[in-house]
Structure 1
Amino acid sequence: MLNDDAERLFDIRRLALLVEVVEQGSITAAAELMLYTPSAVSQQLRKLEQEVGQPLLNRRSRGVVPTEAGQVLAGHARKIVGQMKAAQADLEQIAGLKRGSLAVGTFPTLAGSFLPLVIRAFKKRYPAIGLSLRSARFDELVNDLQSGLTGLCLLWDYPWNRFHDDTIRLTEVFQESTVLLVSGNHPLADREEIRMEELRKESWIVRAEAHPVVEVLQRSAHAAGFEPAIGFLANDYQEAQAMVSVGMGVAMVPKTAVALQHPDVRVISLGPDAPRRRVLLAQRQDKVYAPAEVAFQSTLLEIARERAEEYL
Structure 2
Amino acid sequence: MKNKGEALLNDEYSDLFDIRRLALLVEVVEHGSITAAADIMMYSPSAVSQQLRKLEQEVGQPLLNRRSRGVVPTEAGQVLAGHARKIVGQMRAARSDLGQIAGLRRGSLTVGTFPTLAGSFLPLVIRAFKKRYPAIGLSVRSARFDELVSDLESGVTGLCLLWDYPWNRFNDEAIRITEVFQESTVILVAKGHPLADRDEVTMKELRKESWIVRAEAHPVVEVLQRSAHDAGFEPTIGFLANDYQEAQAMVSVGMGVAMVPKTAVALQHPDVRILSLGPDAPQRRVLLAQRQDKVYAPAEVAFHSTLLEIARERGSDYL
Runs of 4+ residues deviating >6 angstroms: none
1:143 is aligned to 2:150: yes
Name the SS for the 2:280 alignment partner: coil
Partner of 2:239: 232
Mapped partners of 2:151, 2:237: distance in 1: 34
SS at 2:201 equivalent = coil
Query: Could you tell me which residue of structure 1 aligns to residue 165 of structure 2?
Result: 158
Q: Encode CA deviations 1:69-89: one digit per residue, 9 max, x unaligned.
A: xxxxxxxxxxxxxxxxxxxxx
Residue of 263, 269, 276 corresponding to 1:269:
276
**Counterpart residue identity of residue 116, structure 2:** T
**Distance of 1:183 and 1:100 partners within structure 2:** 47
**Could you tell me which amino acid in structure 2 is paired with residue 245 of structure 1?**
S
Instruction: Return the alpha-carbon distance in structure 1 between the equivalents of residues 145 and 139 of structure 2.
Output: 18
What does residue 222 of structure 1 align with? 229
**Counterpart amino acid of 1:233?**
L
Partners of 2:106 and 2:279 in 1: CA distance: 45
2:214 to 190, 193, 207: 207
Residue 272 of structure 1 aligns to a residue in which SS?
Answer: helix
Match of 1:251 in 2: 258
Percent of aligned positions that are identical: 88
User: How far apart in 1 are the matches of 2:235 and 2:129?
Assistant: 42
Kindly state the Cα deviation for residue 131 of structure 1 after the two structures are TM-superposed: 0.1
Name the TM-score, length of structure 2 as normaliser. 0.67
Report the CA distance between 1:308 and its aligned residue: 1.3
Please state how far the C-alpha of 1:99 moved relative to its aligned partner. 4.8
- Equivalence for 2:99: none
Assess, with a 3 A threshold, how the Cα gap between structure 1 residues 274 and 232 changes in structure 2: closer, same or farther.
same
What value does the CA root-mean-square deviation take over the aligned residues?
1.1
Question: Highest CA radius of gyration, 1 or 2?
Answer: 1
* Alignment partner, residue 122 of structure 1: 129
Determine the C-alpha separation between the residues in 2 that align with 1:273 and 1:203: 20
Letter in 2 for 1:310: D
Q: CA deviation at 1:273?
A: 1.2
Mapped partners of 1:197, 1:307: distance in 2: 31
Q: 1:279 aligns with which of 286, 294, 312?
A: 286
> In structure 1, how many angstroms separate the alpha carbons of the residues matched to 2:293 and 2:281?
36
Distance in 1 (CA, whole Å) between partners of 2:202 and 2:146 is 33
1:27-176 equivalences in 2 (<5 Å) = 99-176=106-183
Equivalences, count: 216
Deviations 1:147-205 (A, max 9, x none): 11100000000010111101000000000000000001101111000111111010000
- Whole-angstrom distance in 2 between the partners of 1:251 and 1:262: 13
- 1:26 is matched with none
Shift of 1:309: 1.1
Matches within 5 A, 1:176-195: 176-195=183-202
Structure 1, unpaired ranges of 5+: 1-95
List gaps (5 residues or longer) in structure 2. Answer: 1-102
Equivalent residue of 1:117, what SS? helix
Q: For 2:228 and 2:244, locate their aligned partners in 1 and report how far apart those are by CA, in whole Å.
A: 20
Mapped to 2, the partners of 1:222 and 1:139 lie a distance apart of 27
Describe the SS at the equivalent of 2:309. Answer: helix
**CA distance in 2 between partners of 1:287 and 1:273 (Å):** 39
Counterpart residue identity of residue 118, structure 1: V
CA distance in 1, matches of 2:219, 2:264: 13
Asked if the contact 2:106–2:135 (Cα under 8 Å) also holds between the matched residues in 1, the reply is: no
TM-score when normalising by structure 1 = 0.68
